[in-house]
Amino acid sequence: MNKQALNKNKHKSDINLLNPEDIIRIEALSSYSKLYLTNARPIVMSKVLHWFEDRLPNQLFARVHRSHLVNRLFAKEIIGTQNKTLILNNGECISMSRRLRKSLVL
């Protein structure tokens, strides 16, 4: 898959090339987003979650909550009957919204 050029901030010298398969999940933090990666510490970027949702492949990423975009490759299981929770391969738990649950099918 093609690597995506992601600006960490306004300086052109701070461009990171990330392989989408290396992104575990992206969490919204107001006007910022926190990218959790497989091989590095999390990166905080001044981009809203919708910006990533438009640029990353839909077949690889699913919006499961208004604050989370998840890489489908790292989704392990969905638990719960009323309130669904997504369990990732690394053990992290993410609440799923009722409206966005259907975007991720395991």
pLDDT of 36 = 96
Average pLDDT over residues 74-89: 91
**pTM recorded for the entire structure:** 0.82
Q: What 3-state class would DSSP assign to 56?
A: coil
Domain boundaries, the chain: 4-97
Kindly state the DSSP code that residue 3 receives in the 8-state scheme: P
Q: What is the mean pLDDT of the chain?
A: 86
Strands 93-95 and 75-79: unpaired
Domain 4-97: which topology? OB fold (Dihydrolipoamide Acetyltransferase, E2P) (2.40.50)
pLDDT of 13 = 45
> Residues 66, 51: contact at Cβ < 8 Å?
no
Kindly state the DSSP code that residue 99 receives in the 8-state scheme: T
Q: What is the pLDDT of residues 14-64, one digit of tens each?
A: 556 788 999 999 999 999 999 999 988 999 999 999 999 999 999 999 999
